[in-house]
Amino acid sequence: MDEKSDRSIYCSPLRYPGGKNCIFPFVTRLFYENGMIGTSYAEPYAGGAGLALRLLLEGYVDHIHLNDFDSSIYAFWKTVIERPDDFCDWINEVPVNVESWRHYKALQHSSNLFELAQSTFYLNRTNVSGVLKGGIIGGFEQRGKYKINARFNKADLVRRVLRVAQMKSRITLSNLDGIAFIKNLNRKKEDVFIYLDPPYYVKGADLYMNAYKDKDHQELSKYVRRMKKQWMVSYDDQDFILNLYKGERSIRYRLSQSTSNRTGDEVLIFSEAIEIEDSLHALKCPVLI
């Protein structure tokens, strides 16, 4: 299913490689199974935050904590929350063509927060698969099957931005390293479910501006396994990752949607106290590891 087939399920204005909107049915059932409806929810690697926003907007969680160490992603979310009207005015007015693409590509390292947000959003909506450092949809000569504006429905994108902005009092935003973020959250008394979706182990360097190396994945796993909060981790299905979380309850499942960046199996790993048995049927081909 793509964005054109059912816009109602897409709450985020961003297209994000590795986004987890596809496991929304599983997560909602997991919340029911564990009595977590109305809890707070956190994503240390928020990215497009499609799952977090849908959980909030549909009433499954009461508050979301969004964190991303990537300054361009943080700039976008901060702008959406603090200057939504200005941002929507810009969306409505900006030309969607190769000349504008070149302009906003050059702003990707701007120190101006609003300019960086514009650049991030423009590249995300006009690049192949939403990858910021990827190529332009249709190519520079615009001879491809799809053109640069194929994923730039202005009316729909404005609607999404304004819908997120309306919920700003229930969104906490931060720009920390993932481990620093969960350390801070773990110290709080707040009852919060933490969903960690770190950069892919294999394709991370191709998809994200802040990819992880082996030592980063290792450090993260050591801290996650000691956390007091309820948590879930998702990764691409790799032996290196499974060995880091050996002994923890894990399942392998088939992604329910397939794109050039999202094929094959993934794994979900859970903290000890979480019940998962009744929720597994919401995933495609789940297998306990």
Tens digit of pLDDT for each residue in 29-65?
Answer: 999 999 999 999 999 999 999 999 999 999 999 999 9
Count of Cβ atoms closer than 10 Å to residue 95 Cβ? 10
Instruction: Please give the Cα distance from 280 to 284 (Å, whole number).
Output: 8
Q: What is the mean pLDDT of the chain?
A: 90
Here the tokens at position 80 are 């959406």
pLDDT score of 261: 45
pLDDT score of 44: 97
Kindly list the domain boundaries of the chain, sorted by start residue. Answer: 7-288
Which CATH homologous superfamily contains domain 7-288? Answer: Vaccinia Virus protein VP39 (3.40.50.150)
Query: Lowest-pLDDT range, 3-12, 34-43, 83-92, 224-233?
Result: 3-12
Residue 205 has pLDDT above 90, yes or no: no
Contact criterion met (CB below 8 Å) for 46 and 66: yes
pLDDT score of 133: 86
The percent of residues in the chain predicted with pLDDT above 90, rounded, is 80
Tens digit of pLDDT for each residue in 232-268?
Answer: 999 989 999 999 999 999 999 987 544 444 456 899 9
Tens digit of pLDDT for each residue in 127-173?
Answer: 998 999 889 999 999 999 999 999 999 999 999 999 999 999 999 99
Instruction: Please give the Cα distance from 221 to 179 (Å, whole number).
Output: 10
pTM of the entire predicted model:
0.90
Q: How confident is the model at residue 17 (pLDDT cuts 50, 70, 90)?
A: low
